[in-house]
Amino acid sequence: MAHEKPYRCAAVAVAMLMSLMAIHCLAQEPLRDHSCTVDAAGVFALPHGKDGQNFDKLGWGVQAGGGFAVVRNDNPDHGNSWYITGNFIYEKFKANAAALNAAKAANPTQLANTTSAHGGFTTVTLDPTFRRAFSRQYGMYMSGGFGWLRRGIGFNGASPGTLLQSGSISLDRLASNSGVFDLGGGMEFGPQKMSGFMLFAEARVYHGVAINNASTLVPISVGIRW
């Protein structure tokens, strides 16, 4: 395990990629089912598996993504299409009391002053996506793939004194990196007044492998896609 810093570089790289893709997409035709897409969403996240015993049952997060069509119907407003999409999600959970006490008991010297802890999960995945357009305003999609998962744990505690510092301080940060599988789907709806933008809601399942095989996450996202 290593200190949790590289995820910031990944987030910056994804943001730059999304910006470049947005510039390209905005030059495309104003159809409901564009030849390339960009999206952003807020996330409600649920931990499952062993991590479901470590964290509160509801966390929050953010999502960004984009993709391009590889197989597209002659009429983009109807029929089936295949896309290759990239997705970035960051999710944060608060550690529950039982998990926090177990961590303090395992490392009493370093974590003696710990008052809280949180988990931060960063995923970047590449997902083949099947999309079905039923009309100019409504469609559904399914996707799944593989990528990278970073599971970070941060411990916070009370300052041992107030002469130099007050309030909460960071006691330790640990992280582990691995692969991750994901699978999910959603619905999208585009009112005519939105000029090519679509509202979407989706649910996905992420399951880590190797060192993170105890991490299973279920993010539920609501956002906007072009």
| DSSP strand pairing (198-208 vs 216-225) | antiparallel
Specify burial of residue 156 (Cβ count, 10 A radius: 0-12, 13-18, 19+).
middle
Model confidence, pTM? 0.79
Give the H or E element holding residue 14: helix 6-25
Q: Distance (Å, rounded) from C-alpha 200 to C-alpha 12?
A: 24
pLDDT in tens, 160-183: 554 445 455 555 678 999 999 999
pLDDT in tens, 114-168: 888 899 999 999 999 999 988 878 899 999 999 999 999 988 876 555 444 545 5
Q: Distance (Å, rounded) from C-alpha 41 to C-alpha 78?
A: 25
Domains along the sequence of the chain with CATH = 6-225 (2.40.160.20)
Q: Name the nearest CA neighbour of 64 among 127, 144, 124.
A: 124
Q: Distance (Å, rounded) from C-alpha 157 to C-alpha 155?
A: 7
